[in-house]
Amino acid sequence: MTQRKRQAPQSIDPAAIEMLELAEAEGFSTAFSRAKAMAPCPIGVDGLCCRMCFMGPCRFVPKRGQSIEDVTGVCGATAATIVARNFARMVAAGASAHSDHGRDMAFVLLAAAKGEARGFSIRDEGKLRKVAHLMGIEDKGRPVAEVAQEVAEKALSNFGQQTGEITYASRAPKRRQELWRRLNLVPRGIDREIVETLHRTGMGTDQDPEHILHHTLRASMTDGWGGSMLATDISDILFGTPKPRTSQANLGVLKADQVNLVIHGHDPTLSEQITEAIREPELIQYAMSKGAKGINLAGICCTSNEVLMRQGVPSAGNMLHQELAILTGAVEAMVVDVQCTMEALVGAAAHFHTKVITTSPKAKIEGATHIEMEPHNAYQVARLIVRTAIDNYPNRPDSVHIPSQFSDLVAGFSHEYLRYMQGGTYRGSFRPLNDAIMSGRIRGAAGVVGCNNPRVTQDRGIMRLIQEYIKNDVLVVVTGCGAIAAGKHGYLVPEMMEQCGKGLREVCEAVGIPPVLHVGSCVDNSRILTVLTEMVEEGGLGDDISDLPAVGICPEWMNEKALTIATYFVASGAYVLFGVGSPVSGSPKVVELMTKGWEELVGGKLEFEPDIDKILQKSLAHIDAKRRALKLVTYDPNQYGQSGDRRLAGITA
Q: Which of residues 444-473 bind ligand MSK (CB under 6 A)?
A: 450-451
Q: What residues make contact with ligand SF4 under the rule CB under 6 A?
A: 50, 52-53, 55-58, 73-75, 77, 82, 203
Backbone angles phi, psi at 373, to 5 degrees: -115, 135
**228-239 vs 79-113: helix crossing angle, rounded to 10:** 20
Tell me the closest approach of the beta carbon of residue 50 to ligand SF4, in angstroms. Answer: 3
* Choices 109-117, 168-176, 510-518, 555-563; region in contact with ligand MSK by CB under 6 A: 555-563
- Rounded least distance, CB 54 to ligand SF4, Å: 7
Scored b (16 or more CB within 10 A) or e, 620-642 reads bebbbebbeeeebeebeeeebbe
Percentages helix, strand, coil for the chain (3-state, rounded to 5) are 50, 10, 35
Using the minimum distance from each CB to ligand MSK, give the nearer residue, 546 or 564: 564
Nearer to ligand MSK, 87 or 557 (CB): 557
Q: Exactly one of 23, 319, 474, 616 binds ligand MSK (CB under 6 A); which one?
A: 319
Tell the smallest beta-carbon distance from residue 108 to ligand MSK (Å). Answer: 19
Stretch that binds ligand MSK, among 103-111, 241-249, 454-462, 554-562 (CB under 6 A): 554-562
Q: Which residues of 458-487 are buried (b: 16+ CB within 10 A; e: fewer)?
A: bbbbbbbbbbbbbebbbbbbbbbbbbbbbb
CB atoms within 10 A of CB 180: 22
Q: How far apart (Å, rounded) are the C-alpha atoms in residues 606 and 557?
A: 13
Say which residues have a Cβ less than 8 Å from residue 45's Cβ, sequence separation at least 6: 581, 583
- Give the nearer residue to ligand SF4 in terms of CB position, either 89 or 419: 89
> What distance in Å separates the CA atoms of residue 170 and residue 173, rounded to the nearest whole number?
8
Question: Least distance from C-beta 483 to ligand MSK, angstroms?
Answer: 8
Q: Residue 82 or 451: which CB sits closer to ligand MSK?
A: 451
* Total Cβ atoms within 10 A of residue 114: 12
**Nearer residue to ligand SF4 within complex by CB, 85 or 443:** 85
Answer whether 240's CB lies under 8 Å from 346's CB: no
Decide which of ligand SF4, ligand MSK, none touches 450; Cβ closer than 5 to 8 Å per partner kind. ligand MSK
Residue burial 324-348, b: 16+ Cβ < 10 Å; e: rest = bbbbbbbbbbbbbbbbbbbebbbbb
**Taking CB under 6 A as the criterion, which residues in 326-365 touch ligand MSK?**
340
CB nearer to ligand SF4: pick between 62 and 361: 62
Residue among 48, 302, 436, 606 that touches ligand MSK (CB under 6 A) = 302
73 contacts which partner out of ligand MSK, ligand SF4, none, CB within 5 to 8 A by kind?
A: ligand SF4
Phi, psi (deg, nearest 5) at residue 244 = -55, 135
The distance of closest approach from Cβ of residue 81 to ligand SF4 in the complex, given in angstroms and rounded to an integer, is 8
Closest CA to 413 of 313, 336, 490, 483: 483
Please tell me whether residue 604 binds ligand MSK under the rule CB under 6 A. no
Q: Taking the complex as a whole, how short is the minimal distance between the CB of residue 26 and ligand MSK, in angstroms? A: 25
Q: Does 561 bind ligand MSK (CB under 6 A)?
A: yes
As to burial, measured by CB atoms within 10 angstroms (0-12 exposed, 13-18 middle, 19+ buried), residue 255 is middle
3-state secondary structure of 43: coil
When the beta carbons of 17 and 75 are compared against ligand SF4, the nearer one is 75
Of 619, 526, 615, 518, the closest CA to residue 569 belongs to 526
| Cβ closest to ligand MSK, residue 93 vs residue 134 | 93
Backbone angles phi, psi at 484, to 5 degrees: -70, -35
Q: What backbone phi and psi angles, to 5 degrees, belong to 574?
A: -95, 155
Q: Among all residues, whose Cβ is closest to ligand SF4?
A: 73
> Residue 301 touches which of ligand SF4, ligand MSK, none (CB < 5 to 8 A by kind)?
ligand MSK
Nearest distance, CB of residue 183 and ligand SF4, angstroms: 28
Is 232 one of the binding residues for ligand MSK (CB under 6 A)? Answer: no
Sheet containing 295-300: give its strands across: 369-370, 355-358, 333-336, 259-265, 295-300, 315-317, 245-249, 407-411
Is residue 481 near ligand MSK by the rule CB under 6 A?
yes
Options 34-42, 131-139, 556-564, 571-579: segment touching ligand MSK (CB under 6 A): 556-564
Instruction: Rule CB under 6 A: choose which of 244, 268, 480, 549 binds ligand MSK.
Output: 480
Query: Between 481 and 548, whose beta carbon lies closer to ligand MSK?
Result: 481
- 75 contact, one of ligand MSK, ligand SF4, none, CB 5-8 Å limit per kind: ligand SF4
DSSP 375: G
Q: How far is CA 518 from CA 306, 479, 485, in A?
A: 11, 6, 11
Residue ranges that bind ligand MSK, judged by CB under 6 A: 266, 301-302, 319, 340, 450-451, 480-481, 521-522, 559, 561-562
